[in-house]
């Protein structure tokens, strides 16, 4: 298991929008603890309902599910939000989640909840903006734990490849992981990152600057 805990990015502004998304996700999870399945059903992704497509990304299936999603959202979301701006980040996050949901419905189907599709969209945008900035991770194999530092390009490509393999080998139904949602979210985030760069809305950090910061950490 590879768990990211920090990225080599110096934020240019406070990512308040990402803080708000994290807070809302935790708030919704707390409400879920006292809600019945019948109350939650309209917001579960299961078909083409608007409430499902926009609501499923705020629901989680348990403590481990939400904790891991929030770790990834904190690590990559803060960096992306600080770069693209608070006003643009929220609609982008929701759009990633919707596109991820559409990909899941088209290629897999079945009920789904969780923010991981939208978060993979954030990771896709990070991949475009900060490909060479290092990602510090915990490598956890049984009782063996070690800290490693890898360029975002390689660690993100590894996650994408693993999801593609999971999707094409048909493990989705067995593990409960919505691989196609992850892939759809990543592609949408990657595309949005390209649009941001081409339109000059954001400018990617200089590679040498990122490497210089990495060498001095």
113-131 pLDDT per residue, tens: 999 999 999 999 999 999 9
Which of 81-85, 104-108, 134-138, 207-211 comes out lowest in average pLDDT?
207-211
Contact status, residue 122 vs residue 189, Cβ threshold 8 Å = yes
Q: pTM surpassing 0.75?
A: yes
Domain boundaries, given as residue ranges, for the chain? 2-215
Would the pLDDT of 216 be above 80? no
What percent of the chain has pLDDT above 70? Answer: 92
The pLDDT value given to residue 206: 65
Contact status, residue 155 vs residue 2, Cβ threshold 8 Å = yes
pLDDT digits (tens, 9 = 90+) for 127-177: 999 999 999 999 888 778 899 999 999 999 999 999 999 988 876 554 678
Rounded to the nearest 10 degrees, what angle do helices 116-129 and 63-72 cross at? Answer: 20
Contact status, residue 194 vs residue 217, Cβ threshold 8 Å = no
Which of the four pLDDT bands, split at 50, 70 and 90, describes residue 54?
very high
CA dihedral 61, 27, 3, 103 (to 10 degrees): 60
Q: According to the CATH classification, is domain 2-215 in 1.10.357.140?
A: no
> How much is the average pLDDT of 69-82?
96
Q: How far apart are the first and last CA of the chain?
A: 24
| Most confident stretch, 77-81, 108-112, 140-144, 171-175 | 77-81
Q: How far is CA 190 from CA 68, 120, 167, in A?
A: 22, 9, 19
């Amino acid at each position: 298991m590879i768990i990211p805990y920090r990225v080599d990015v110096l934020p240019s502004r406070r990512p308040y929008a990402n803080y708000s998304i994290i807070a809302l996700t935790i708030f919704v999870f707390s409400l879920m603890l006292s809600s019945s399945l019948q109350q939650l059903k309209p917001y579960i992704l299961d078909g083409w309902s608007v409430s499902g497509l926009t609501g499923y990304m705020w629901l989680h299936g348990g403590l481990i599910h939400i904790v891991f999603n929030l770790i990834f959202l904190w690590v990559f979301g803060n960096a992306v939000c600080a770069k693209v701006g608070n006003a643009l980040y929220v609609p982008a996050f929701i759009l990633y989640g919707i596109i991820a949901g559409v990909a899941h419905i088209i290629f897999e189907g079945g009920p789904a909840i969780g923010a991981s599709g939208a978060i993979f969209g954030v990771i896709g945008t990070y991949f475009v903006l900060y490909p060479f900035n290092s990602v510090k991770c915990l490598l956890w194999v049984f009782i063996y734990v070690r800290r490693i530092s890898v360029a975002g390009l390689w660690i993100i490509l590894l996650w994408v490849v693993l999801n593609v393999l999971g999707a094409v080998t048909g493990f989705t139904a067995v593990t409960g992981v919505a691989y196609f949602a992850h892939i759809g979210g990543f592609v949408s985030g990657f595309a949005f990152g390209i649009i941001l760069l081409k339109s000059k809305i954001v400018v990617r950090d200089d590679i040498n600057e990122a490497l210089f910061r990495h060498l001095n950490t």
